[in-house]
């Protein structure tokens, strides 16, 4: 076990702005030498979805969830003032204008900084998401994995 | 004071999926020998409501809040894609299909595992909820009780 | 560095009820001698806006965000059951009736108790908020400031 400080984030939300906040904090903590883990559960799993459609066998409910949920970080909506996607376009536009990083690049940067990205297997089952649909080089685990990470940490957040 | 690790959760949200996440984390932490407390405030109090209507005297505003808020864990809506209750039905259906526990059973399991369930008395006052309307065998407290629990903990979350 | 316990809150949400919860916890922790910091980011910045309109130069997007976002704590909506402002009126009415403090007074009390209020400069840029539009006597910082506060803390919350 390293002597580094430790930040553990549960990303439950599937909102573009909340996921941005989660990944900005994660990348910031990693830059300050924290060991950082993001545990993606429920709608937060969508931040890990590939944007291409991946053909996988699913039940009816799981197909429906698959269709209703955004395919990847770039397609997620805002938590506030989304207005059928206009708010999200506005955020992306100001992110670009101010040379900030859009969400897909924040996820990439996190992977480059060795932030541990875990997908919650229990909610993957519930929502019918398959490993083939999620980004490569992530880890998989349940609530035990989360507790193990969080209980020795310095900063723990639920977003 | 025990030597166990300690997890303290503020459950503010009245959403079915967020309350599920809170109780899954709480039950997981309890299984790993944490002392666990869930402090229910604002809409999170609805997870502790009995499903039967309990006759109590209330002012007009409090009656209105009482009518507008879901009566118990089983009746709470989703944070996303609720679509007038369809999303909640879908979640309940996949929870059943995958042999996961629905919210009311998660609350029961938490009580069996001695997770401390606290109802925030200040917001009970605001929303006009009476002790008779909430589950038996829970505790009552204010922000001081919460701080007392959280400040010596290892994991603290706001959900 | 003081020997006090430490509570650090990220206020991301622009909802009246969530901001109330954040400030009640902050004031409670301060009363129990914690060093308390609230780091305001994204919509949470609106809790720090002055209610008067302040003439500042802005680009088109920033003007639009400025118009769409509530001007100050008193004008924020509810996270649930807002119903075009009715829910917010109801909450304010019961807060008054039960002699609880409305949000603007909770912010004042936090300032009197030396709770450190930080505005996130990166999201101020994104949303086009200028220092002139925010309350006096607050501090400014980015994610590094937040990590610095949170990593040595006892309670850390994302609201």
CATH of the domain at C59: 3.40.1260.10
Give B147 or A85, the one with higher predicted confidence.
Answer: B147
Chain C partners within 8 Å of A28 (Cβ): 142-144, 146-147
Number of domains in chain A: 1
Interface probe, candidates A14, A21, A70, A143, chain B, greatest B C-beta count within 10 A: A143
d(CA B54, CA B132): 7
Q: What six digits make up the tokens of C132?
A: 């002139």
Strand order in the sheet with A35-40: A139-141, A116-120, A35-40, A6-11, A155-158
Chain B residue whose CA is closest to C156: B156
CB pair distance less than 8 Å for A156 and B158:
no
Question: What is the reported pLDDT for B140?
Answer: 98
B134 Cβ contact partners less than 8 Å away, ≥ 6 residues apart: B45, B48, B49, B50, B119, B124
Task: Report pLDDT digits (tens) over A134-150.
Answer: 999 999 999 999 999 99
Look at residue A29 and tell me if it is in a domain. Answer: yes
Look at residue A104 and tell me if it is in a domain. Answer: yes
CB pair distance less than 8 Å for C21 and B12:
yes
Look at residue A97 and tell me if it is in a domain. Answer: yes
* Number of residues that this document lists for chain C: 159
Whether B111 and chain A come into contact, CB under 8 Å, resolves to no
Instruction: Give B91-99 contacts, CB < 8 A, sequence gap 24+.
Output: B91/A126, B91/B16, B91/B17, B91/B20, B93/A61, B94/A61, B94/A62, B94/A65, B94/A126, B94/A127, B94/A128, B95/A126, B97/A59, B97/A61, B98/A125, B98/A126
* Number of residues that this document lists for chain A: 159
For residues B63-80, average pLDDT = 90
Minimal CA separation from A99 to chain B, in Å: 30
- For chain C, state the CA radius of gyration: 16
ipTM score for this prediction: 0.93
CB pair distance less than 8 Å for B155 and A156:
yes
Mean pLDDT of chain B: 93
CB pair distance less than 8 Å for C156 and A157:
yes
Chain B partners within 8 Å of C90 (Cβ): 61, 64-65
Residue A49 DSSP label: B
Question: What is the reported pLDDT for C155?
Answer: 97
Whether C62 and chain A come into contact, CB under 8 Å, resolves to yes
Interface probe, candidates C94, C97, C113, C156, chain B, greatest B C-beta count within 10 A: C94
Look at residue C70 and tell me if it is in a domain. Answer: yes
Mean pLDDT of residues grouped by 10 in chain C (159 residues)? 90 96 98 98 96 88 89 90 78 90 96 98 95 96 96 96
Task: Report pLDDT digits (tens) over C31-69.
Answer: 999 999 999 999 999 999 998 888 899 888 889 888 889
Question: What is the reported pLDDT for A133?
Answer: 96
Q: Are B6 and B146 in contact (CB under 8 A)?
A: no
Whether B81 and chain C come into contact, CB under 8 Å, resolves to no
Please identify which residue in the block is written with the tokens 């308390």: C36
Interface probe, candidates B94, B95, B106, chain A, greatest A C-beta count within 10 A: B94
φ and ψ at B8, to 5 degrees? Answer: -125, 125
Minimal CA separation from A126 to chain C, in Å: 25
Q: Which among B41, B68, B148 is the nearest to C21, CB-wise?
A: B41
Subunits next to C (3 or more Cβ pairs <8 Å) are A, B
Question: What is the reported pLDDT for C158?
Answer: 98
Question: What is the reported pLDDT for C1?
Answer: 57
Look at residue C1 and tell me if it is in a domain. Answer: no
d(CA C51, CA A78): 25
CB pair distance less than 8 Å for B21 and A14:
no
Chain B residue whose CA is closest to C90: B61
Give B90 or B81, the one with higher predicted confidence.
Answer: B90
Q: Are B3 and A124 in contact (CB under 8 A)?
A: no
Look at residue C108 and tell me if it is in a domain. Answer: yes
Minimal CA separation from A98 to chain C, in Å: 7
Percent of chain C beyond pLDDT 70? 99
Chain C residue whose CA is closest to A33: C147
Helix or strand run (H / E) with residue A51? none
Q: What six digits make up the tokens of A104?
A: 């897909």
Minimal CA separation from B130 to chain A, in Å: 29
Question: What is the reported pLDDT for C32?
Answer: 96
CB-CB neighbours of A39 under 10 Å: 26
d(CA A89, CA A84): 10
Look at residue A1 and tell me if it is in a domain. Answer: no
Range of the domain at A41: 6-158
Minimal CA separation from B99 to chain C, in Å: 30
Question: What is the reported pLDDT for C70?
Answer: 92
For residues B70-82, average pLDDT = 88
Confidence band of B127 (pLDDT split at 50, 70, 90): very high
Question: What is the reported pLDDT for B1?
Answer: 57
Question: What is the reported pLDDT for B11?
Answer: 98
CB pair distance less than 8 Å for B64 and C90:
yes
Residue ranges in chain A whose pLDDT is less than 70 = 1, 84
Mean pLDDT of chain A: 93
Chain B partners within 8 Å of C89 (Cβ): none
Whether C154 and chain B come into contact, CB under 8 Å, resolves to yes
Confidence band of B115 (pLDDT split at 50, 70, 90): very high
Q: What is the DSSP string of C81-146?
A: --GGGHHHHHHHHHHHHTTPPPHHHHHHHHHHTT-EEEEEHHHHHHHT--GGGBPSS-EEE-HHHH
Look at residue A82 and tell me if it is in a domain. Answer: yes
């Amino acid at each position: 076990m390293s002597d580094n400080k430790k930040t553990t984030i549960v990303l439950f939300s599937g909102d573009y702005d909340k996921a941005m906040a989660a990944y900005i904090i994660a990348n910031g903590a990693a830059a300050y030498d924290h060991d950082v883990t993001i545990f993606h559960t429920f709608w937060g799993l969508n931040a890990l979805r590939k944007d291409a459609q991946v053909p996988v066998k699913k039940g009816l409910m799981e197909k429906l969830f698959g269709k209703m949920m955004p395919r990847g970080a770039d397609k997620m909506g805002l938590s506030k003032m989304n207005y059928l996607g206009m708010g999200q376009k506005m955020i992306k536009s100001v992110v670009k204008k101010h040379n900030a990083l859009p969400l897909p690049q924040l996820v990439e940067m996190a992977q480059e900084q060795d932030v541990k990205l875990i997908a919650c297997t229990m909610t993957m089952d519930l929502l019918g998401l398959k490993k083939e649909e999620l980004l490569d080089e992530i880890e998989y685990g349940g609530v035990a994995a989360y507790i193990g990470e969080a209980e020795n940490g310095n900063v723990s957040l639920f977003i």
